[in-house]
Amino acid sequence: MGRPKMYDREGITDRAMNLFWERGYHATSTRDLTEAMGVNPYSLYAEFGSKQGLYSAAVERYESTVMVGHFGGLEAEDASLEEIRDVLDFFGESGDRKGSYRGCLLCNASTELAPTLETSRESTARYVEYLITVFTNALRNAANQDRLVEAAPIDELAAFFATVLMGQFVMMRAQVDRAVVRSAANQVVVRLNEVVLSPDSRPPQRA
């Protein structure tokens, strides 16, 4: 019988996730990882197969924890304009928060690894599709509630919001002037407001 594990997989994956998020893939060595995770190299390779395997596990952990924490509200069946504005406001102000320089792990990977690492290309494409899907969900709900103008381009707006967010993450990682990030976020809200019906102009509630 093999020796029992002396570590929690989720716990050590969280530590690796935060280290990759902080430093990036290439700047994080196996030694850095084993020290941060509190395991020896044998345990790392036995559990994840390779550094790339560990990175893939860290990305999956990020998707199921950090992403859901930020965007889970947009997934709700009753998500609407309030949830969209909450997300846009949160990330518009993120440049003022401690640790904002880390940006987004998946967005960081898209600029560092996506052109060369297949798993990173896949996670980036999955991330963009996820953002578009959850924004579309909230926008369609708003349209069904007669809160948007009839001609609101929902699919295009969802793609626009996702694109701007990805750009904001890159700027935060690059530590661009915070005012630039806030200005971009403000313009997204302006665009959203252009397709939102005022309460006085909404049609009567359906019976």
d(CA 106, CA 103): 9
In the numeric block, the tokens 């904002």 are attached to 100
- In the chain, the amino acid numbered 172 is M
> For residue range 64-96, what is the model confidence (pLDDT) as tens digits?
999 999 999 999 999 999 999 999 988 888 666
d(CA 134, CA 159): 10
State the pLDDT confidence band at 207, using cuts at 50, 70 and 90: very low
Quick check: 120 pLDDT over 80? no
Indicate the SS3 state at residue 150. Answer: coil
- In the chain, the amino acid numbered 1 is M
What pLDDT, on a 0 to 100 scale, did the predictor assign at position 80? 97
Quick check: 117 pLDDT over 80? no
Percentage of the chain with pLDDT > 70?
A: 86
Look at 202 and 80; give whichever has higher pLDDT.
80
On average, the pLDDT of the chain sits at: 87
Report the interhelical angle of 118-144 vs 105-112 (nearest 10°).
130
Quick check: 3 pLDDT over 90? no
Q: Which domains does the chain have, with CATH numbers?
A: 59-198 (1.10.357.10)
Global pTM?
Answer: 0.84
d(CA 114, CA 203): 46
Quick check: 113 pLDDT over 80? no
> For residue range 18-50, what is the model confidence (pLDDT) as tens digits?
999 999 998 999 999 999 999 999 999 999 999
Quick check: 11 pLDDT over 90? yes
Q: Are 32 and 51 in contact (CB under 8 A)?
A: no
Residue 80 DSSP code: -
d(CA 12, CA 8): 6
State the pLDDT confidence band at 129, using cuts at 50, 70 and 90: very high
Quick check: 114 pLDDT over 60? no
Q: Are 139 and 148 in contact (CB under 8 A)?
A: yes
